[in-house]
């Protein structure tokens, strides 16, 4: 699954980043394990508020994606395939 490009106007009109608490509430009925990743994860770990967050990333097991996606009908997902951290990064 791949998300679709949005215009700046479309994105501004639709976007409101969730907090980790909001995600936890929405995931309450999902039995798949999940975790908060990236910037929010660092703030939760340090107990700080380093910056304002314009998004929130979660990690889930690939084999449980359908279960998680079913809990969010009508949402589009950006799914990172494979193991991007194992791919060689070429110098530019």
Instruction: Give the mean pLDDT of 41-69.
Output: 86
DSSP 58: E
Beta bridge partners of 59: 35
Mode of pairing for the β-strands spanning 35-37 and 57-59: antiparallel
Going by C-beta distance under 8 Å and a sequence separation of 6 or more, which residues neighbour residue 49? 43
Is residue 61 predicted with pLDDT exceeding 50?
yes
Output the pTM of the full model: 0.66
């Amino acid at each position: 699954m791949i998300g679709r490009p949005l215009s700046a106007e479309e994105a501004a009109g639709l976007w409101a980043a969730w907090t980790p608490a909001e995600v936890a509430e929405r995931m309450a009925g999902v039995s798949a394990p999940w975790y908060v990743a990236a910037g929010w994860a660092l703030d939760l770990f340090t107990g700080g508020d380093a910056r304002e967050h314009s998004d929130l990333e979660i990690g889930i097991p690939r084999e449980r994606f359908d279960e998680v996606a079913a809990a969010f009908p009508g949402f589009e997902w950006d799914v990172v395939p494979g193991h991007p951290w194992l791919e060689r990064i070429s110098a530019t």
